[in-house]
Every structure is written in structure tokens, then in C-alpha cells.
Amino acid sequence: MNLLVTQDEHRKVPESPRVEQMVNLSSKKLRTLAGLAAVAGLSLALHAQAAQASGGVPPQPAAELGKTAQPKATIQGEQATTLASNTNIVRYNRLYKTGAIPASKCKEVNVSLRTAAGVKAYDQQLLNCMWAAWAPILKASGANYRVKPTMVLYGSKANTVCGVISSPTSYYCGHGTKAEIYIPWGYIANMWKNSPTYARAYATNTMAHEYGHHVQYMTGILSASWSRQYAFTTSAAKLEESRRRELQASCLGSAYIGANKRYYPMSAGLYSQWKYLVEHSGDIKGYPRDHGSFANHGWWSHAGFYAASSSTYAGRCNTFNSASSRVS
């Protein structure tokens, strides 16, 4: 048994896209860091939205990640620890052959995000709807889809099974047959003060991205990707693996959003703010290139969303079988 930690820090998040802020946005980003630690019986991924002092990849894992509690028998056993088999899992996963993601038909919850209660109501429905919409896809992928993440709202700090969150952080923690998504409600509430529409787009996209990591977890991709990352010997290769994993989480999240766009609806101002958000998220100068460029983050988000069609597919999100330039 071991602990898998995927840590994503959105060190800088674009503020509401008002014109006067455009100049500053080139130096801002939605940062994602990922890290992995090996501990008994746990597997987790976490997301941060706020700055931490140093960049880089969190604690290195010591152990056999392929044996992390996984829903798929195919990644259990000794073979799963090899780079080749992990590459098979991330690159040729049955997830990529699943059909159209169904629309959840969930409407956006019409509530102010100024309060914890508001954020909770808003995000809990999103979570419930993602759980339902992804069910047929994950079952078709062969995953044993029985782990529904629990949403936990917190202020500035939280102690979790996966570790301590010390900055406002959206945080996915999967361990065995359980998973939690931590949401720093105050962060979203502050965003709401500046731009309610942007806060809605942000809250929606963040939950969708976190759920993208859950899809990765359920299909074995999360663990296999981490195993690959640690098997690589160069920093450049490790960072590229991180970018593939993070860009995929955004793509999968956007695929859910796109599948349900007519019902939510993700249109008009909310869509334009969402578009702005995903096109202004990614790596910035001075930090590790672990998340992807703004351009590629936008590209994969749109690939998932696929606004030109009513059908979206997880197979559009195979970042692990894409050219390096597409995950730069």
C-alpha cells in the first residue's frame, strides 16, 4: 500500500477579465503543480489556487506506485510498475474509446457565491452531476466506478488524509475507495466580489478539472502517469509528464462542461468568461513548466469542450499520445 499525492497549485490565477487588468494577465496564470508521495494505502491529487513560496514538484515518491489502490486489475501487479505498462495505461486506456459523454442536464445553481453556503450549494450540485454523467463513461472504460468524491469546504487551512493544505487550494485527494475534493470557499467568494460571472466560471471549471483528476484516478491514469514521471530521468521529461497529466485533467473537465453546455447553460457571458479563464491559465516565467502554456491549456480545454458539436468524448483528451509541442 502506498500514498499517491498529486498536488496542483494554481499559484496565480487570472483575475476577472476586465479590460484594465489585461496588461497584468501575461504574468498571471493558473498554476498547477503536482507531486507525489508514497505512504501507506492512499492516493491523492490536490489542487492549489494560491501561491506557495517555492515552485517545483512536491515530495518525491519512494514506492511502487503501480500498486496504489486502483480500480483496474490491469494495472495491478508487478508488471504495472514498468514504464512500458504505465505508458500503455496512459496512452491506450480504454477511456479513450468510450462514447459520447452524456449531458448531465443539470442547470447551474442560481445562488450567490459570497458565502460558504452558496459555494457549497453550487459546487455540490456540480459534483453530483459529474458523478452521474461520468458513470457510463467510466463503466465503459472498465473502471470500477464506485468512488464518489466527497466535497469538503474549508477556509485557509485544512488537515486531510492526504496532508495539510496550508493555502487556499482546490484539492483532490483519492485514497483507496474514497476521495475528497477540498474547496477553499473564501477564495471563490473573494472572486465573486470582483466579478460574479467570472467566479461562476472559475468555480465550475475548477470542480470540473478536479473531477478530471478523479477520472484519471478511476482509470489508473493518475497513478500510471506518476509512475512514468518518476521513471523519467531528466527534469524536462518529468515536467512534460506533469503537463500531460494536468492538461488532460482540464480537457476532461471541459468535456463534461461542453457535454452539458445547453442545459447549464454554458453560454453568453459565462461562456466568454470561461473561455477567457482557460486561455489564460498555465505556466508563467519563473516557475516550473509543469502545467502547460496558456495556448496549450486553452487548446486542450477547447478540445474537451468541443463547442462545435453537441457531443464530447474523453478520447479527445489523450494528451499522453500527443506531440511534445502540443503539451509544451
Residue ranges binding Zn ion (CB under 5 A):
8, 32, 246, 249
CB of 45 vs Zn ion, minimal distance in Å? 7
201: which residues sit within 8 A by CB, 6+ positions away?
A: 270, 273, 274, 276, 277
Paired with 6 in beta bridges are: 45
CB of 209 vs Zn ion, minimal distance in Å? 6
CB of 265 vs Zn ion, minimal distance in Å? 25
Identify the sign of the CA torsion 188, 194, 196, 198.
negative
CB of 78 vs Zn ion, minimal distance in Å? 29
CB of 258 vs Zn ion, minimal distance in Å? 18
Closer residue to Zn ion in complex, CB, 200/244: 244
Closer residue to Zn ion in complex, CB, 103/207: 207
| β-strands 163-165, 158-160 pairing | antiparallel
CB of 30 vs Zn ion, minimal distance in Å? 9
> Nearest-CB residue to Zn ion?
8
Task: Cell numbers for 101, please give them.
Answer: 459523454
Identify the sign of the CA torsion 63, 65, 67, 69.
positive
d(CA 210, CA 13): 16
DSSP-assigned states of every residue in 1-53: --EEEEEEE--S------GGGHHHHTT------------TTEEEEEEE-S--S
Closer residue to Zn ion in complex, CB, 109/208: 208
Closer residue to Zn ion in complex, CB, 32/49: 32
Closer residue to Zn ion in complex, CB, 138/249: 249
Closer residue to Zn ion in complex, CB, 108/246: 246
d(CA 238, CA 175): 23
d(CA 272, CA 177): 37
